[in-house]
């Protein structure tokens, strides 16, 4: 059974924070424990936003602020699925709800190529931050070979509408993209308990 109240409370907390805090380090420091608390409980994500696809990962919009100050997304990774090397162009927090996620950060070298850092593994309940200020280019994949993993991402904009880039790590060449979302509707944060 899902308890959507956890997500509703997280949306409200995030809205209050972005309305009062514009300093990114302060915002990330205040929001990270709230995301960690959200992903510490696996009883709130509606099943429709936790469904894997056999071909590629899914990016489900859970909430987009009407002023596009932030968005909350569930990523569902089937076995062997992952992203290309990409950027975000806004701050973001990632929290693993189920399973594990592997992230590889990239830095541009003097030769213009992207150089991979060591893989970082995030397990259920753990969080990590990204932004142009602290490191924005990475690739993410499911850390488990035999089942799906789910992570919850919070971004400093409507991430499905932001023009970003995917990169060829060998050449450093960038190609623009806009990710969009895998769903056409978002969860009802205020369900009628009498229905």
d(CA 44, CA 39): 9
Residue whose C-alpha is closest to residue 138's, from 91, 84, 194, 176? 84
Asked whether residue 190 is assigned to any structural domain, the reply reads: no
Domain extent for 10: 5-177
Residues 6+ apart with CB under 8 A from 25: none
d(CA 20, CA 175): 35
Asked whether residue 99 is assigned to any structural domain, the reply reads: yes
d(CA 138, CA 164): 12
Asked whether residue 22 is assigned to any structural domain, the reply reads: yes
Full DSSP string of 51-103: ---SSS-EEEEEEE-TTSS-EEEEEEE-TT-BPPSB--SS-EEEEEEESEEEE
Asked whether residue 186 is assigned to any structural domain, the reply reads: no
Asked whether residue 187 is assigned to any structural domain, the reply reads: no
Asked whether residue 88 is assigned to any structural domain, the reply reads: yes
d(CA 160, CA 16): 22
Residues 6+ apart with CB under 8 A from 182: 53, 58, 59, 60
- Give pLDDT, residue 194: 59
- Give pLDDT, residue 175: 97
- Give pLDDT, residue 193: 66
Asked whether residue 184 is assigned to any structural domain, the reply reads: no
Q: What is the DSSP letter of 12?
A: H
Domain containing 62 — which CATH number? 2.60.120.10
Query: Length of the chain, please?
Result: 195
Asked whether residue 193 is assigned to any structural domain, the reply reads: no
End-to-end CA distance of the chain: 15
- Give pLDDT, residue 112: 85
**CB of 11 closer than 8 Å to CB of 73:** no
How many domains are contained in the chain?
A: 1
Residue ranges of the chain with pLDDT lower than 70? 1, 193-195
């Amino acid at each position: 059974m899902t308890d959507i109240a956890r997500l509703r409370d997280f949306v409200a907390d995030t809205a209050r924070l972005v309305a009062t805090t514009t300093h990114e380090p302060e915002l990330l420091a205040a929001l990270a424990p709230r995301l960690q608390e959200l992903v510490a409980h696996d009883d709130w994500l509606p099943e429709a936003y936790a469904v894997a696809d056999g071909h590629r990962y899914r990016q489900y919009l859970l909430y987009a602020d009407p002023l596009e100050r932030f968005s909350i997304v569930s990523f569902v990774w089937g076995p062997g699925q992952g992203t290309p090397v990409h950027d975000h162009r806004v701050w973001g927090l990632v929290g693993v709800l189920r399973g594990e996620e592997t992230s590889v950060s990239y830095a541009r070298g003097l030769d213009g190529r992207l150089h991979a850092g060591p893989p970082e593994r995030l397990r259920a309940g753990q969080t990590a931050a990204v932004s142009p200020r602290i490191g924005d280019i990475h690739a993410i994949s499911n850390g488990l070979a035999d089942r799906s993993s789910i992570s919850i991402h919070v971004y400093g904009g409507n991430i499905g509408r932001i023009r970003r880039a995917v990169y060829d790590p060998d050449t450093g060449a960038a190609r623009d993209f806009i990710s969009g979302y895998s769903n056409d509707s978002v969860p009802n944060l205020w369900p009628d308990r009498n229905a």
